[in-house]
Amino acid sequence: MDDKEIEAIKLHVAGATVRHTAPFDDLKPFKNDFELTQDFIDKWVIPFYMNIGQSDNEWINKLTSVKKEITTDIIEKNLGDFNWRTRQTGAFFSAITNQTQFVDIIGTHLLKSEVCYAGGVYCKVFASFNLPKCVDYLNLYLDYYLTKPDLWFDQRDAMEAILYLDKINSTNHFDRHINNWAEFIKNKPYWDKEIKTDNLEKQLTVIETVRQYAC
């Protein structure tokens, strides 16, 4: 196995399962210039990444118990690692600690869509922050990725986030994308056409509960 093949395997494991060219090459993603230690991964990635999306009390209690230890450095290290597990964990940590200074890093990651799975968490985080810039990133994402029906990425998550933000902000961004959404799912017979926010709102309740917890 040559170096090129080894690198391809590494990218696949990290979550770069679909290689694509998007019109966001001018955006420079935030990336670490070092490898995370196994100790860091064992403490700040493995116990969390598979549970993002849970809403039970055990999960909430786990998050509140470690919230005071989640520093800006921990979030940066996670977001800067080229791996879906670390990136989604870093984004989620930024949400529960309400550190909105990471919006541009997360937005760039969303637009470039370099790794799988993480995008849905980015959309959830943007819905929790509810900043104009978050809406801008979601609109940019949908403007492009809804026109790419062969890229089965995080379009539904972004549509859910936009719909939710419309509901609480009395805006109407969702209608801007509804026709493209209908075209996008034509080759996806098992996708539900209707966009609902029930599950998203349940996840946002978790984030808000942990965010309001006094350390």
Residue-by-residue DSSP string for 76-135: HHHHTSSSHHHHHHHHHHHHHTT-GGGHHHHHHHHHHT-SSSHHHHHHHHHHHH--HHHH
The pLDDT value recorded for residue 3 is: 38
Fold of 3-17+31-212: Leucine-rich Repeat Variant (1.25.10)
Contacts 24+ apart (CB under 8 A), 96-102: 96/63, 96/67, 96/70, 96/207, 96/210, 96/211, 97/67, 97/70, 97/211, 98/129, 98/211, 99/72, 99/75, 100/129, 100/131, 101/72, 102/75, 102/76
Rounded CA separation 154/133 (Å): 18
Chunked into runs of 10 residues, the chain (215 residues) has average pLDDT values of 35 45 84 97 97 96 97 98 97 98 97 93 98 98 96 97 98 98 96 96 98 84
The pLDDT value recorded for residue 125 is: 98
> Helix and strand tally (H, E) in the chain?
12, 0
Radius of gyration over every alpha carbon of the chain, rounded to an integer in angstroms: 17
Residue 144 is classified by DSSP as: H
The pLDDT value recorded for residue 22 is: 72
Instruction: Spell out the domain ranges in the chain.
Output: 3-17+31-212
The pLDDT value recorded for residue 148 is: 95
Per-residue tokens: 178: 């509804």
Dihedral Cα 44, 130, 53, 107, nearest 10 deg: -60
The pLDDT value recorded for residue 166 is: 98
The pLDDT value recorded for residue 68 is: 96
